[in-house]
Amino acid sequence: MLNRREFLKTVSTLLAGLTIPVEKVEAFIDLPTSEKPKVAWLQNQDCTGCSTSFLNSNELLQIITEIVNVVAHPNLSFASGHAYASIWHDVIEKGGHIIVAEGSIPVKELHACHSLGMTAVEFGKEAFNSAGLILCVGTCASFGGISAAAGNATGALSIPRFLKEHCAWTDTRLEEKVITLPGCPVHPIELVGTILDLVLTGKLPERNNYLSPLRFYGPLIHDHCPLRGLYEKRIFASFPGDQGCLFEIGCKGTITNRFICPTRKWNDGANWCVEARFGCKGCAHPNFFAKKDDSMFISHGSLDYLDWRKLTSKEVAL
């Protein structure tokens, strides 16, 4: 548990680059809960990985619960059954909440995902149309992700695509109401940093064409990678775990825009994909994971990536 001084220090780090005075942060945490922005977390067709990643981060969990009023979360809320359903009925009836949406919406296999006795399609229409803002967390919610991978048996759609094709949202409405935070999973700092940015500035952050904040999804992983010097010298690894830049064994850092991995790493700064010597799998890229039946990987110009399907199971196990 962070004390007040540590709390403010952590928040200041997360807000680096935004000119928000510390007094504004303090005033916000001192607001009564009823006056803080209300957040309701909705899980759709997903693995709960984004929730799990976020809930493992104690300090950031404390920050989010002191800055906003989390009224509903399927894994955090004490309420269950009818009591939990009545919270959501209230969210939809009153409207204006920040809905954090995790997972995709299956529009073909309707019963693949339900919320409170309704299909994800039925519930999503009601919940999203009532929202003040929708934060799509993770690659499934932002781009379809693994649930929309080659074959896509359930007809999984990302939340923006669902809103456009099934709720008749215009591009303007999407721009006004939707923020995407891709990643498989979302990084806790991307989520908490974006919420802090929103509630403390009262403005939507500057975003790219996929509605993702430029602050977190502007630079390429490659731009901040510690192995970049080896890339420039053309010193490449020939197998995962070897020394050298991982480009020739399929690293997607050159095409994946994500600031957080090389700069803050994962699991409280313990490690990240490149330092683990496997390379970036492009989990925040719009094409993750294998959207075409015949291609497991994203093509990149004329460069050939290693086709992992040709590895033997022994090599993969290594």
**Which residue number places its CB atom closest to ligand SF4?**
253
Rounded Cα distance, 195 and 205, in Å = 10
Q: Which is nearer to ligand SF4, 19 or 209 (CB)?
A: 209
Q: What is the distance between the terminal CA atoms of the chain, rounded to a whole angstrom?
A: 39
Closest CA to 208 of 264, 142, 261, 301: 142
Q: Is 281 in the site for ligand SF4 (CB under 6 A)?
A: yes
Q: Which is nearer to ligand SF4, 28 or 288 (CB)?
A: 288
Residues 79-118, one symbol each (x = binds ligand SF4 by CB under 6 A, - = not), give ----------------------------------------
Q: Is 245 in the site for ligand SF4 (CB under 6 A)?
A: yes
Q: Is 246 in the site for ligand SF4 (CB under 6 A)?
A: yes
Q: Is 274 in the site for ligand SF4 (CB under 6 A)?
A: yes
Residue 275 · residue 256 · CB < 8 Å: no
Among 36, 125, 228, 300, binds ligand SF4 (CB under 6 A): 228
Cα 115 to chain centroid distance, Å, stands at 21
Rounded Cα distance, 12 and 15, in Å = 5
> CB-based burial of residue 93 (10 Å sphere; 0-12 exposed, 13-18 middle, 19+ buried)?
exposed
Q: Is 50 in the site for ligand SF4 (CB under 6 A)?
A: no
Among 38, 161, 215, 258, binds ligand SF4 (CB under 6 A): 258
* Strand intervals (E) in the chain: 38-43, 69-72, 98-102, 105-106, 114-115, 118-119, 133-137, 156-157, 178-181
Q: Mapping DSSP to helix (H, G, I), strand (E, B) and coil, where does residue 134 land?
A: strand
Q: Is 227 in the site for ligand SF4 (CB under 6 A)?
A: yes
Task: Give me the residue label for tokens 């955090």.
Answer: 76
Q: Is 277 in the site for ligand SF4 (CB under 6 A)?
A: no
Q: Which is nearer to ligand SF4, 160 or 279 (CB)?
A: 279
Give the DSSP H or E segment for 124.
Answer: helix 120-130
> CB-based burial of residue 138 (10 Å sphere; 0-12 exposed, 13-18 middle, 19+ buried)?
buried
Q: Is 181 in the site for ligand SF4 (CB under 6 A)?
A: no
Q: Is 231 in the site for ligand SF4 (CB under 6 A)?
A: yes
Q: Is 140 in the site for ligand SF4 (CB under 6 A)?
A: no
- Options 21-29, 78-86, 94-102, 223-231: segment touching ligand SF4 (CB under 6 A): 223-231
Q: How many residues does the chain have?
A: 318
**Number of chain positions touching ligand SF4 (CB under 6 A):** 25
Per CB under 6 A, residues contacting ligand SF4 are 183, 221-222, 225, 227-228, 231, 245-247, 251, 253-254, 256, 258, 261, 272-274, 279-284
